[in-house]
Amino acid sequence: MKENGSSIHHILKTTFGYDQFRPGQEEVIQHILNKKDALVIMPTGGGKSICYQIPALASEGLTVVISPLIALMEDQVESLRQNGVEAAALNSSLSRDEQLMVHHKIKSKTLKLLYVSPERINTDSFYQYMKTLDISFFAIDEAHCVSIWGNDFRSDYVALKNLKLQFPQIPIIALTATADEATREDIKNQLNIQSSKLFLSSFERDNIFLKSMPAKDRIKYITRFIFNQQGGAGIVYCLSRKSTESIAQKLQKAGIQAGFYHAGMNQEDRSQVQRNFQNDNIQVICATIAFGMGIDKSNIRFVVHYNMPKNIESYYQEIGRAGRDGHISSTILFSNYNDYLQLQQFIDSSEANATFKQVQTAKLNRMWEYASGYECRTNFILNYFGEYKQEPCGRCDNCKQPPIKFDGTILAQKALSAVTRSNQSIGMELLINVLRGSGMREIYARDLHTIKTFGAGRDLPYLDWKSYITQLINQGFLSINFSQNSVVQLTPFSADILQGKKAVELVQFVKDKDKKVVKKPSIFRVEDELYEILRTWRNDLAKKKKIPAYTVLTNTTLEELSASKPTELEDLYEINGIGEVKFNKYGQSIIQIIQDYMNKSN
Ligand code: ADP
Ligand code: ZN
């Protein structure tokens, strides 16, 4: 055991260049080395890959990794190769010769990690083939894809249940970032690893600040927000392909270096954008959810959701891409009823079975409760993932600007009465205008100016009413009929309010206070000079080698280099992210660059 411990530390340092394991990693690695099954739940950015890559290196034989996306596999393989690890991916994008090469390496036992897609592994011939090999263990990445309770069910994953049946003696490690309790149990059942040990890392990311607000004046708000980021990079997630393009264009007009990314673009354009973002040549990416899986950029300073995601799992995964370097990062979630409606329609019109639709609807409702809720947002998420916490986080918008509650019974009565008197036939916007006694043509055309509550809420601004009606909906006193033009209707609880039998507590609407604008910065952050020199060198090298820049050295490593300015080769052992292979490959050049820089500036 002890020997194991020191050898895995050795691998962590020499191969990956890290000094310490992150919480949870070492326990998982030991468990696998003891040949036992494991289910590992770790938040995005928590460091799941090392949990199976190190035991793969410390074991005899070949580790087979099942991963859902070719792009994801290729990134992982490239990163491993750059660290001197023999890894390969078998997928449809390989030429015949390349495939032969991979098989040759397997045969000669030089390959340590083989990445395979689920379609590939689930064939009889591949099972037969695997039986001839010495396999140390199976790693199933993005394991939530096996469960309909998860947020990204893939039918190809279902057949993975045969792995345990066909190879009962080979351990399985299933890994995912997103699994509530139901999904966890389901993953175990689906993969036939019922007695596997669960490793659950904390989902709390204390450098990520959460904020949620109604979708209003979004472009203006986002532009201002980005100017305040002083060049820090970020992602704006959008619901549709088209909107990624139009929003990017609007940001560009405001002077922000923005690009867009969606699955409808060709591969070349997509890689180009991703590279530009990864290398800090583009500050902001407007993207659909297609963007992000496998992206290893540690200095993402903000994630904005232009629209509400379909569930907490997706939301948490997407915001989890911010702040992997541990520095403070912001998130903003915009949401409104149209998002909710549209997402509900996606679910309703999908081909899925009724159970699946029910699950997705329940998840969507929780998302909406989150977006419009007044409790600590961090705790909402932690509770959602079954990690119960009461102490408020102190950094989300609800903690920083605690809601002020008041007796809203009379307001509620006015709203409910207007709904009643308009025969439950008008939508939220019109309802507010009726309450405010607006002179809109539609009100007169529909005779709504004659009802008794017309103008009864004149004293409150539009946005205040919008907030209060939304709260009434969330508390169950009103509802929205999505199948009927989203008209606002009464619920079984409404009568008690109208008859004065029950009081309603509302939270005071507060206009957003974060509207301070700082001076528009020069388009991009001015890093320190040495960092820029190192970055240019790294990027040129990556271009020459035709590999992603971060697989040469990550920005965090460059930051560390430019801060500590090592001038002796051996000092490089202290730098995170430089293992033996990179030390040998790049050490001399790095030291030369730093020495030149120091000589020049002295
Ligand atoms: P996940 O798959 O859980 O989202 P990754 O495995 O991609 O996360 O790891 C996220 C980042 O953290 C990567 O850049 C990785 O190299 C880095 N990392 C992982 N383990 C450690 C560690 N022990 N020390 C420092 N950095 C680490
Ligand atoms: Zn909080």
Cα of 223 to ligand 2 centre, how many Å? 25
Q: Closest ligand 1 atom, CA of 141?
A: 2
Is 57 a member of any domain? yes
Is 594 a member of any domain? yes
Task: Give the domain range for residue 569.
Answer: 528-601
Q: Is 297 in the pocket of ligand 1 (CB under 6 A)?
A: no
- DSSP characters for 216-255? SSHHHHHHHHHHTTTT-EEEEE-SSHHHHHHHHHHHHHTT
Kindly report the CATH number assigned to the domain that includes residue 33.
3.40.50.300
Cα of 326 to ligand 1 centre, how many Å? 11
Residue that wins the pLDDT comparison between 440 and 537: 537
Q: Read off the pLDDT of each residue in 508-530 and give the average, rounded to a whole number.
A: 52
Q: Are 371 and 396 in contact (CB under 8 A)?
A: no
Is 388 a member of any domain? no
Query: What is the β-pairing status of strands 38-41 and 172-176?
Result: parallel
> Number of folded domains in the chain?
4
Sign of CA pseudo-dihedral 344, 346, 352, 356: negative
Q: Token pair 């596997």 is at which residue?
A: 196
78 and 166 housed in the same domain: yes
Looking at residue 294, what is its pLDDT? 61
Q: Is 18 in the pocket of ligand 1 (CB under 6 A)?
A: yes
Is 398 a member of any domain? no
Query: What is the β-pairing status of strands 405-407 and 478-481?
Result: unpaired
178 and 286 housed in the same domain: no
44 and 184 housed in the same domain: yes
Quote the distance between the C-alpha of residue 483 and its chain's center.
31
Q: Could you give the dihedral angle defined by the CA atoms of residues 245, 251, 255 and 258, in that order, rounded to the nearest 10 degrees?
A: -50
Cα of 290 to ligand 1 centre, how many Å? 21
Give the residue from 31, 113, 23 showing the smallest Cα distance to 66.
113
Q: Read off the pLDDT of each residue in 575-587 and give the average, rounded to a whole number.
A: 87
Q: Provide the mean pLDDT of the chain.
A: 89
Tokens describing residue 189:
């059942």
Cα of 172 to ligand 1 centre, how many Å? 21
Cα of 294 to ligand 1 centre, how many Å? 11
Q: Is 48 in the pocket of ligand 1 (CB under 6 A)?
A: yes
Q: Read off the pLDDT of each residue in 230-239 and give the average, rounded to a whole number.
A: 93
Is 92 a member of any domain? yes
Q: Could you give the dihedral angle defined by the CA atoms of residues 538, 539, 543 and 547, in that order, rounded to the nearest 10 degrees?
A: 70
Q: Read off the pLDDT of each residue in 110-126 and give the average, rounded to a whole number.
A: 94
Kindly report the CATH number assigned to the domain that includes residue 571.
1.10.150.80
For residue 409, pLDDT over 60 is answered with yes
Is 368 a member of any domain? no
Distance CA 303, CA 333 (A): 9
215 and 182 housed in the same domain: no
Q: Closest ligand 1 atom, CA of 298?
A: 14
**For a pocket test of ligand 1, which of 200, 299, 324, 552 has the largest count of ligand atoms closer than 8 A to its C-beta?**
324
Distance CA 5, CA 168 (A): 27
Cα of 104 to ligand 1 centre, how many Å? 30
pLDDT digits (tens, 9 = 90+) for 303-339: 999 999 999 989 998 998 999 888 999 999 999 878 8
Q: Is 457 in the pocket of ligand 1 (CB under 6 A)?
A: no
Looking at residue 482, what is its pLDDT? 66
Q: Burial of 64 by CB count in 10 Å (0-12 exposed, 13-18 middle, 19+ buried)?
A: buried
108 and 195 housed in the same domain: yes
Is 363 a member of any domain? no
Q: Whose CA is nearest to atom 20 of ligand 1?
A: 47
Cα of 13 to ligand 1 centre, how many Å? 13
216 and 187 housed in the same domain: no
Q: Is 21 in the pocket of ligand 1 (CB under 6 A)?
A: yes
Kindly report the CATH number assigned to the domain that includes residue 450.
1.10.10.10
10 and 124 housed in the same domain: yes
Is 300 a member of any domain? yes
Choosing from 149, 178, 200, the residue where a domain stops is: 200
Ligand number nearest to the C-alpha of 397? 2
Looking at residue 526, what is its pLDDT? 38
In the beta sheet, which residues pair with residue 137? Answer: 63
| % the chain with pLDDT above 70 | 95
Looking at residue 476, what is its pLDDT? 84
pLDDT digits (tens, 9 = 90+) for 438-484: 888 889 999 999 999 999 999 998 888 988 998 898 788 998 876 67
List Cβ neighbours of 54 (8 Å cut-off, separation of 6 or more): 8, 11, 12, 16, 25, 29
Distance CA 198, CA 131 (A): 28
Q: Token pair 């509650």 is at which residue?
A: 405
Q: Is 329 in the pocket of ligand 1 (CB under 6 A)?
A: no
Looking at residue 511, what is its pLDDT? 67
500 and 534 housed in the same domain: no
Ligand number nearest to the C-alpha of 379? 2
25 and 166 housed in the same domain: yes
Distance CA 338, CA 342 (A): 6
Looking at residue 5, what is its pLDDT? 56
Q: Could you give the dihedral angle defined by the CA atoms of residues 530, 272, 299 and 228, in that order, rounded to the nearest 10 degrees?
A: 90
224 and 346 housed in the same domain: yes
Q: Closest ligand 1 atom, CA of 21?
A: 23
Cα of 425 to ligand 2 centre, how many Å? 38
Q: Is 334 in the pocket of ligand 1 (CB under 6 A)?
A: no
For residue 179, pLDDT over 80 is answered with no
Choosing from 200, 233, 249, the residue where a domain stops is: 200
pTM, rounded to two decimals: 0.67
Q: Read off the pLDDT of each residue in 137-148 and give the average, rounded to a whole number.
A: 93
Q: Which helix (H) or strand (E) holds 128?
A: helix 124-131
For residue 520, pLDDT over 50 is answered with no
Tokens describing residue 234:
């970020």
How many helices and strands (H and E) does the chain possess? 27, 18
Looking at residue 519, what is its pLDDT? 34
3-state secondary structure 136-151: EEEEECCHHHHCCCCC
Q: Burial of 70 by CB count in 10 Å (0-12 exposed, 13-18 middle, 19+ buried)?
A: middle
Ligand number nearest to the C-alpha of 402? 2
Choosing from 200, 216, 250, the residue where a domain stops is: 200
Q: Which of 248-262, 334-348, 536-550 has the lowest mean pLDDT?
A: 334-348
What angle separates helix 580-601 from helix 529-545, to the nearest 10 degrees?
140
Q: Is 298 in the pocket of ligand 1 (CB under 6 A)?
A: yes
445 and 592 housed in the same domain: no
Q: Is 49 in the pocket of ligand 1 (CB under 6 A)?
A: yes
Q: Is 47 in the pocket of ligand 1 (CB under 6 A)?
A: yes
Cα of 381 to ligand 2 centre, how many Å? 10
258 and 339 housed in the same domain: yes
Looking at residue 462, what is its pLDDT? 83
Cα of 211 to ligand 2 centre, how many Å? 9
